[in-house]
Structures are given as C-alpha cells and as structure tokens.
Amino acid sequence: MERQSPVYLAPASGEAAIRELERLLHDLEDNLDTLKLSLKQQQDALGEVKAFGRNPQTARPIFTKQAISTLCRYGFDRPESTEAAREALRCLANAFLLHEPSRQTFVDLGYGPKAAERLKLDDYEDEFLISRILFFLTYNTTLDFEALMSQNDLAQSINQIFSHHAEYYSGLDIIQSPKFTQQQLAMSETLKLLFNITYHYPDSLPKFDPAVESLVTIVLRHPLPEPPLQPPTSYLLNALLNLDIRAVGKGTQSGHGPKASAASESPDLEPLVNRLIHILDAAVCNHPEETLDQAAASLFTLLRRLYELATPRTKAVMRTQILPNAQDRDQPLGKGGSLSSRLLRLSCSPKLPTLRSNISALLFEMSEKDPGKFVQNIGYGYASGFLMSQNIEVPPSALEANASSNGENVAHVNPVTGQRWAAEERDASSTLPMTEEEKEREAERLFVLFERLKATGVVNVQNPVERRFEEID
C-alpha cells in the first residue's frame, strides 16, 4: 500500500493555528528518527512553520526548547537538503527576532560554533541567514564570540565574505545583475554583525584589518541609494567606524582599495574622502532635515577621523570642499546653495542637536582647532555658539585682518557675517528700503550678535542696537 503524504494547510488563526503549528513541529521532530517525510515534504512543512512563526500570536510553540532543537537539527545537522535547511534557518531567525530567550536556548544547545562554521559557505542566501542569526546572538546571550574567532575562524570568514563583495562591485551593470538584491541583503546582515562584534569585542579589531580595504572598495563603488544614508550605505559607514582606517593598502586581501605610499606608509585616503563628501552633499540635499540628526552622525564621525589621519594634501582637499570659499562670500555666509552654505544653515537648526555639534566640530577641526581661524573661516555669527558651548575664548585677533584656512585674504570681510565688505555695500545700494517689520527683525539679529561679542570680552563696545530696544520698551 502506498504511503500517504501528510497534508499541510495554509496558516489558520488563533488557537487553531497554534494547534496546527504544534502538529507540524511534532511531525518534523518525529521525522528526524523515522525519516517518513521526503525532502520536499520536509521543506513544505518547514515553510508552513515559517509562515506561522511570523505572527507573534501564533508563534509560541516555536519558542520552546524542544522546537528550537528540532529546527536546529534540520538547519545544521542534515546537509542532504539545502532548501529544507534554509527554511529551518529562516524559522530560527524569525524566532530570535520575536522571542529573545530563544537565542540563549540556541546557545545552550551548542549550535553557536556550527553557525560560525556555516558562514564559510560562499552563498548569499546562507550568508544572509547565518549572519542574521549570529547578529541576534550578539545581544544578551552567553555565546563566546572570541572562541568562535579563535576556534571556528569567524573573523577570517567575515573578511573573506567582504573580499567577495568587493570583487562583485568590480563588475559592470551591477544593479542589473539578478543577484543584486540578494547580495545587498546578505552584505547588510554581515555588516551589522561586524559592527556588533567589533563594538562588543574591541580586542578583536586587528583580526578585521583585512576587511578594511574591501569595505573601502565597496564604499567607493557601491551605487548610492536615494536618499543615500540608508542601508547598505549606513551599515558600511557604521562598520568602518570601529575599524582601523590605517589598515587600507597594507597588503590586505582584496587588493582593490586605496594604496599606501611606499615612502610615507600613509594610506591614500583622498578617494574615500571625496566619496564621503559626495555622500554628504547628496544627504543634505535629499534627506528630510529632521532625519539627518541621527542618519548623518556616523558620516561626520568618519570624516572627522579621516581628517585627523589625512596627509596635508588630503586635508587641503577637504577644506576646499567643505569650508566657505571666495564665491560664498559674495553674500552673508550660509545664504547660498553650496555645500558649505547648507552645512552652516544646518549648524543653527534647533531641531538637530547632534548634527549641529558634529558640523561645528568638523569645521573647527578644519580650522586647526584655532578659534581665531574658525571665526575667520565661517564668521563670528556661526562660530560663537560652538565656541561658547566648549568654553573656548575668542582671541582679539579673530576680528582682525588675516587669511582663512582656504588661503583667502579676509581683510575685507565682515568678521560677523563672513561677507566681503564690498559685497555688503553693493547689496545695500541695490536693496529696496526695509519695511518696519524687516528693520525690527534685523535689529533683533544684530542685538544677539553684539551681545555674544561683548560676552567674549574680545571688544568692549556698547551694543548700538541696545538703545533701540530700550526706546521700544
């Protein structure tokens, strides 16, 4: 008599769904000993378990130790069915997302090392699933990742994975590749895993030096999403934050990234700097302003670190692209459409406390951390708030004729607004008379600026707008 195949129905709901899920798990556990189910039937049953497991209301039976053990055996101990194993891994990943204690159950069952070994396989689907599982295990479990790195070559596997991703981006028509979406998802999960490992295990950082050049290559060649500061770009920047950028070009695996100078042994960071500034320009143009406070934090931290490590030539490139130039001074700084103008406007936004600080800190560092040069570069109006918040005094020379960090002569520049005096006079002669309301707004603005100036002690002058407010009062 021919054996009848079990019938697996579409997911039910409520208590009926829970009973159906329990039946599926029982059949799968029983099959581990009896081998009654064909490979296709195993895959179908695990697919049904996955469907139930996406709903927190019906997924409870999966969270038991018995069910986690069953899924682990299908996922890691039965190599004869790759697709069934992947369905089991998907079930585990969903369980770890919905039910944190399930992660420790997995660790207690001893499957952490098996997961690390599985990451050696060169396959995007396996990479996605295993990296996601290991990523969840970095949170609130006792899994020893140092042991995985020393005994199961986890760091080497991750380095090799990024080397393969870097090679992928050397091809043409990347976006048209049928593997593009799958590659993106897999790489994103491994980037998240790398960030968490290097964050929680800082002593492991040197083990990931070979990945730095591959990651830089990917940053240089990866097509930017719109807007740009979203996965995988955001994950790439986060991953680089924890790593030693100086490892670029030191004979690492991929051989694709910027090279170190043989004479100086300093890596050529200029291509990476140019790419990050391009990303910054696209971000401030295309991201909603309220999202930039968090989205751009990693990018600014990375730019500040690169400026610290850069050669004098690369530092000059950064200053040229980010600090105000001669054309910007045709009007008060921050009024134009250049990158520097947009950054200055954002540096005053009350809705962006983190971004304000990051922008001002970067501009201050590009001014050689010299408050006088800082004022000359961006104008006292923009510099004063940051300097006061850092308890940095402004020397009297800040308001004297000198040269900016871009090499421009600022002798004929208004030190408060950053605009050339000649341009101010031109604007004044061509401007229609202000209305009373406009005069009041301008008086308020000047009052604040002069009060800030007096507070520094740089000059001792009476606020020329003060009497106006006294008269109004």
Mention every residue, 6+ apart, whose C-beta is less than 8 A from residue 329: 408, 413, 418, 419, 420, 423
Spans of all domains in the chain:
1-110
Cα torsion 155, 192, 68, 99 to 10°: value is: 150
Q: For residue 254, what pLDDT is reported?
A: 43
Bridge-partner residues for 267, per DSSP? 260
| pTM, two decimal places | 0.83
| Residue 154 parent element (H or E) | helix 154-168
Profile the chain (473 residues) by mean pLDDT over runs of 10 residues. Answer: 45 80 97 94 97 93 98 91 94 98 98 97 95 98 98 98 93 72 96 98 96 96 93 97 87 48 64 97 94 95 96 95 89 88 92 94 96 90 89 75 51 72 57 71 69 62 53 45
Q: For residue 177, what pLDDT is reported?
A: 72
Q: For residue 380, what pLDDT is reported?
A: 85
Q: For residue 318, what pLDDT is reported?
A: 97
Q: For residue 264, what pLDDT is reported?
A: 47
Cα torsion 103, 104, 106, 110 to 10°: value is: 150
Q: For residue 250, what pLDDT is reported?
A: 63
Q: For residue 230, what pLDDT is reported?
A: 95
Q: For residue 447, what pLDDT is reported?
A: 72
E runs forming strands in 292-349: none
Q: For residue 175, what pLDDT is reported?
A: 67
Q: For residue 186, what pLDDT is reported?
A: 97
Q: Which tens digits make up the pLDDT trace of 223-239? A: 999 999 999 999 999 99
Give helix 297-309 / helix 233-241 axis angle, nearest 10°: 50
